[in-house]
Amino acid sequence: MASGSTSKSLTVIAPGRVNLLGEHVDYNDGVVLPAAIDLTMRLTVELLDEPVIILNALDLGKEAAFRIADLSDKVDLNGESLPHFALYPASVAWAFQQAGLSIPGLRAVYTSNIPIGSGLSSSAAVEVAFAQAFMNLSGWEVDPMTLVKLTKKGENEYIGVQSGIMDQFACMFGIVNHALYLDTRSLAWEAVPLPDDVAIIVADSNIPRRLANSAYNDRQKACVDAVLALQAALPGITALRDVSPVDFEAHARLLPGDVRLRARHVVEEIARVEEAVQLLKMGDVRGFGELMVAGHASLRDLYEVSLPELDILVEIALEQEGCYGARLTGAGFGGCTVNLVRDDCSESFMTALCVAYQRRTGRQAKLYHTHAARGAHVVPDHSA
């Protein structure tokens, strides 16, 4: 491993992300199409002489501190269980520790305008920001994909959320004005240009998403069960990624009701992503938007992770001038929709969406006008 920076302090900027297409397929070895967005978290860290990590989450008004030696026990300096917010930085430190990488003591202060619990990967932004900070303050260096893999390991094994690799990947690898086509099996990826005149408008339903307490893990189990059942007819498959739409139609009868619905979504969503990439390369944003709408219907009817409020946001969006496509983004069960909107229509779009959503649900949506942004990076303090 090459030697990294050994400065005493630094600032990391990490973006949130939206997934434009390819929902709930990353843990099925599928292909996804996320984009980092210019909602960001800012992490400032300084080295400490003692092997302790001190956290100050400004937006939450919370602090925590723990010894690096106590990472596996998930306890603070007083032996109490770590608060939930502290598990995310701790999970990264733990994963690095498990990989034999040294972790320095540090004081961390961080703030973010990425809404929490809305499906925009506020937690993944925290994870990749701390990964960058630990590496740059420790004197060792690994490639960015290794950092992504380790943050995923921490989230899966330390926090206990069985998410795929997409969120951390998008937050780490984001490119301005591009979506990221990622093969979650091979980890091969490609930047796909987005039209210059299109904004990514995120609409927060104001219903916080409870990922760890939701049916997320149940959906993942259904996918595993589908593979096991389909192997009777397709012995070569190891994930739903290996099942073509044609093969699925031929053998769907092997699957019980709910499992069949979940698997159908995954198989068809992967096919949508492959088609969508070609449409974007041809500049066909209307065709891409139609695939977004089809993806939302599948998440609503087959994967059953939408909510009436998310459906209403999509319905309203599609009635507005300049909207090419809309769908829920993230795991569902609350959170946000993502909308591709012609930039010159974005202001009127946002106003109409807010007014109509409040009229129909009594809730106030939060709207974010964003574009595809750069991934996590260290910046000089004076320009952060």
Give the closest residue to 333 by CA, choosing from 350, 356, 358, 311. Answer: 311
**Tokens 């997409």 belong to which residue?**
166
Instruction: Enumerate residues 6+ apart whose C-beta is below 8 A from 18.
Output: 34, 35, 37, 120, 200, 202, 329, 330, 336, 338, 370
Handedness of CA 123, 164, 102, 10 (dihedral sign): negative
List, in sequence order, every residue forming a beta bridge with 9; answer none if it has no partner: 46
Residue type at position 55 = L
Catalytic residue numbers read 167
Q: How far is CA 40 from CA 12, 37, 275, 306, in A?
A: 10, 8, 30, 25
Tokens of 122: 């506020």
List, in sequence order, every residue forming a beta bridge with 47; answer none if it has no partner: 106
Give the closest residue to 216 by CA, choosing from 262, 247, 257, 252. Answer: 262
DSSP letter for 372, please.
B
Q: Are 314 and 326 in contact (CB under 8 A)?
A: yes
Residues constituting the chain: 384
Residue 64, classed as helix, strand or coil, is strand
Query: Rounded distance, CA 337 to CA 299, Å?
Result: 12
Q: Are 265 and 220 in contact (CB under 8 A)?
A: no
